[in-house]
Amino acid sequence: MQRNRLILLLYIMSLQVLDVITTYLAIQSGARELNPVVNLLLENAIFLIILKIMVALVVYKYVNKTLLLIYSIIMIQAILVNVFNTFH
């Protein structure tokens, strides 16, 4: 059971990491961040990383199948938008 929880935490964190990386790549390619909170946090990466860790830990703490599905859809969609914006 502990191994499954660790894998789950790594999955949740990896989506957050991919979101940060693809956000920075998109911005470097000329895209703009439309989320005002994230836009403000982009000026100091450590605050953005702290926010992303906090979000991941909250999702992990309250995770159930429905929440995990919704979280996954939202995060994968955001990552795909960032990748699209990087190349367009």
CA distance 59 to 19: 15
Whether the CB-CB separation of 16 and 75 falls below 8 Å is answered with: yes
What local confidence, expressed as pLDDT, does residue 65 receive?
Answer: 94
Specify the pTM: 0.89
Q: Which residues contact 71 (CB under 8 A, 6 or more apart)?
A: 12, 15, 59, 63
Domain with 9 in it: 2-87
pLDDT for 48-82, tens place per residue? 889 999 999 999 999 999 999 999 999 999 999 99
Count of the separate structural domains present in the chain: 1
